[in-house]
Amino acid sequence: MSAGVRIIMFGRQGAGKGTQSARLAKHFDVPHISTGEMLRNAVKQDSVVGRAAKAVLDRGELVDDGLMVSLVQGRISQEDARTAGFVLDGFPRTIGQATAFDSLTQTRPVGFVIDLDVNREIVLGRLSSRRTCERCDAIYTATGKEPNNWKCEKCGGAVVQRTDDSPVAINKRLDVYETQTAPLISYYQGRGSLHVVDGLGSPDQVFDRIKTVVETGLRR
């Protein structure tokens, strides 16, 4: 059933892409490839890529297309992604990345582009209260009652606000989404591979909607 499932998850920051991508990847037994996570790991490791990307990430801007395409090219050419497929989370984010990715995947095109639809007002609220485990990237929602040294329930790491979840960076990221990433909706609509899924509701409800889209498509 899962052989060759290739999914792009797309949507505003805070729409729930990360959560839903992880669940989809588990369900279809394919790797979850999050470009944001790859970059954050590179920053933590202080690698060449991390050093090049850190300031851009902190400002909420987009990392250069060439660097992103080569990162993703390297990852999807690994054995697990080549054989089983992938859930790609956070890429492509510009028309330039999408066209480059089309050339890379000409022989095995992506089957599903899921646009997880949540409006700007709602994601702004979600992102402002989002907190993340520094170590394992688990996501929490702040209520204002948490201790100063909030620890992750899963791994014991420190739960903090991502530097790019500050109010200034959030607004910047959402503006960047509207100008650079939203045009991808019509790009993929033109190809007939776009599925708009309502991202409001519980994580289980949203997951069921996405799963139905993919499973229905796979049966065709």
Encoded tokens for 164:
């790019």
> Interface with ligand AMP by CB under 6 A: which range of 20-28, 56-64, 138-146, 203-211?
56-64
Instruction: Indicate whether 137 belongs to the interface with ligand AMP (CB under 6 A).
Output: no
Q: Are strands 130-133 and 85-89 parallel, antiparallel or unpaired?
A: unpaired
Pairing state between β 159-160 and 130-133: antiparallel
Q: What number of helices (H) and strands (E) belong to the chain? A: 10, 8
Asked whether position 25 contacts ligand AMP by CB under 6 A, the answer is no
Residue 200, classed as helix, strand or coil, is coil
Site for ligand AMP contains 60 (CB under 6 A): yes
Residue tagged active-site, from 17, 23, 40, 54: 17
Q: Are 128 and 136 in contact (CB under 8 A)?
A: no
Per DSSP, the three-state class of 202 is coil
Q: Does 174 bind ligand AMP (CB under 6 A)?
A: no
Q: Which stretch binds ligand AMP (CB under 6 A): 85-93, 113-121, 186-194, 200-208?
A: 85-93
φ, ψ for residue 118, nearest 5 deg: -140, 130
Measure the CA–CA gap between 108 and 115, rounded to whole angstroms. 21
Which among 23, 93, 126, 131 is annotated as catalytic? 93
Per CB under 6 A, the segment of 53-61, 105-113, 133-141, 150-158 that binds ligand AMP is 53-61
Nearer to ligand AMP, 93 or 131 (CB): 93
- 130 has catalytic annotation: yes
For position 62 contacting ligand AMP by CB under 6 A, the verdict is: yes
Q: How far apart are CA 61 and CA 180, in angstroms?
A: 10
Q: Which residues are catalytic?
A: 17, 93, 130, 162, 173
Interaction site with ligand AMP (CB under 6 A): 13, 35-36, 39, 56-57, 60-63, 68, 90-91, 93, 97, 164, 173
